[in-house]
């Protein structure tokens, strides 16, 4: 099977390039293929004619999206449409990485794939609009929503916490936002399985279990053997430009429907720490 990975130099892209064996994998970083350039995307996909395209390229700076909405929509929505149209012409299947931020966070039970989109941030809107446009352009595509992504080789929440904890005796971390931390290695392995199973439709892909950012940070510090005190604070006390969902736990029912399950996030964190400092 020939597979094109767009966004191969990102946090997830690196994990996909490392984990994917046994198939013909071709990775493209953003400098190789800017997905905003429809003709370039069409040329590359047309020449390669892959069976699958994994679209992991995105503008993921949630606060940056609030300041640069034109860029957010150009990359996350219009860029995704460019890839979908190229996939359609080439007869390729597409898996698109989306986000828990397509939801408003007002539920108190895990979000199912059938729940209504109601994004509260520019980033969330750009992903939600991409989902709608992709399902119109390529109804058989697969949309893999994930959340709270972390992994080796780039900026992520555990990396930030570990760096701060090395220099500060106390860390204040938000305790009123709840979600599912997801390890890039586990997400990559799930994506590989979804492609091999010919998946379509919307699938929620995240590590099992949920927590608040405060609980996640406390576990990171503890697992790393550090003595930094982690204190819970409210979202209001740590105001950020982009609104975050208070509750964005994703149900794993859709993933189980494809015969796939991921380990609990505590286990994933331990493996991340080993990967970070082998």
Alpha-carbon distances of 13 from 66, 80, 114, 125, 154, rounded to whole Å: 24, 16, 27, 23, 11
Q: How many other β-carbons are positioned within 10 Å of the β-carbon of residue 101?
A: 29
Name every residue whose Cβ is closer than 8 Å to that of residue 247 and which is 6 or more positions away in sequence.
105, 106, 107, 108, 177, 178, 179
Q: Which CATH superfamily is domain 2-150+182-207+249-262 in?
A: NAD(P)-binding Rossmann-like Domain (3.40.50.720)
Residues known to be catalytic? 123
Element (H, E) at 52: strand 52-55
**Residue 142 per-residue DSSP state:** E
Confirm if 47 and 90 have CB atoms less than 8 A apart: no
Instruction: Give the integer Cα–Cα distance in Å for 165 and 179.
Output: 22
Name every residue whose Cβ is closer than 8 Å to that of residue 63 and which is 6 or more positions away in sequence.
240, 241, 242
Instruction: Give the integer Cα–Cα distance in Å for 82 and 54.
Output: 13
| Per-residue confidence (pLDDT) for residue 278, from 0 to 100 | 67
| Per-residue confidence (pLDDT) for residue 52, from 0 to 100 | 98
Confirm if 149 and 206 have CB atoms less than 8 A apart: no
Segments in the chain forming alpha helices (H): 11-19, 38-48, 62-67, 69-73, 80-90, 122-137, 157-165, 184-196, 213-223, 253-256, 265-276
pLDDT along the chain (278 residues), means of 10: 97 98 97 96 97 98 97 98 98 98 98 98 98 97 98 95 95 97 98 98 98 98 96 93 96 98 98 90
Length of the chain measured in residues: 278
DSSP string, 53-84: EEE------HHHHHH-HHHHHIIIIIIHHHHH
| Per-residue confidence (pLDDT) for residue 239, from 0 to 100 | 85
| Per-residue confidence (pLDDT) for residue 214, from 0 to 100 | 98
The answer, as to whether pTM is greater than 0.95, is: yes
């Amino acid at each position: 099977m020939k597979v094109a990975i767009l966004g191969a130099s990102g946090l997830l892209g690196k994990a996909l390039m490392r984990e994917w064996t046994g198939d013909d994998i071709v990775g493209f970083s953003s400098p190789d293929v800017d997905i905003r350039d429809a003709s370039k995307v069409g040329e590359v996909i047309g020449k390669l004619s892959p069976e699958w395209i994994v679209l992991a390229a995105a503008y993921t700076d949630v606060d940056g999206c609030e300041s640069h909405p034109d860029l957010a929509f150009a990359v996350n929505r219009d860029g995704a449409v460019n890839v979908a149209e190229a996939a359609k012409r080439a007869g390729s299947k597409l898996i698109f990485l989306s986000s828990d931020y397509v939801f408003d966070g007002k539920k108190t039970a895990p979000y199912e794939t059938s729940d209504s989109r109601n994004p509260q941030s520019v980033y969330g809107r750009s992903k939600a609009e991409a989902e709608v446009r992709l399902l119109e352009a390529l109804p058989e595509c697969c949309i893999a929503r994930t959340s709270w992504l972390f992994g080796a080789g780039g900026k992520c929440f555990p990396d930030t916490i570990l760096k701060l904890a090395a220099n500060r005796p106390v860390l204040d971390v938000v305790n009123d936002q709840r979600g599912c931390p997801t390890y890039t290695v586990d997400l990559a392995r799930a994506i590989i399985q979804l492609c091999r199973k010919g998946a379509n439709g919307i699938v929620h892909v995240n590590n099992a279990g949920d927590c608040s950012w405060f609980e996640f940070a406390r576990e990171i510090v503890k697992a790393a053997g550090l003595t930094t005190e982690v204190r819970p604070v409210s979202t209001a006390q740590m105001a950020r430009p982009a609104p975050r969902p208070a509750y964005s736990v994703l149900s794993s029912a859709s993933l189980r429907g494809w015969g796939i399950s991921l380990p609990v996030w505590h286990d994933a964190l331990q493996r991340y720490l080993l990967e970070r400092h082998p």
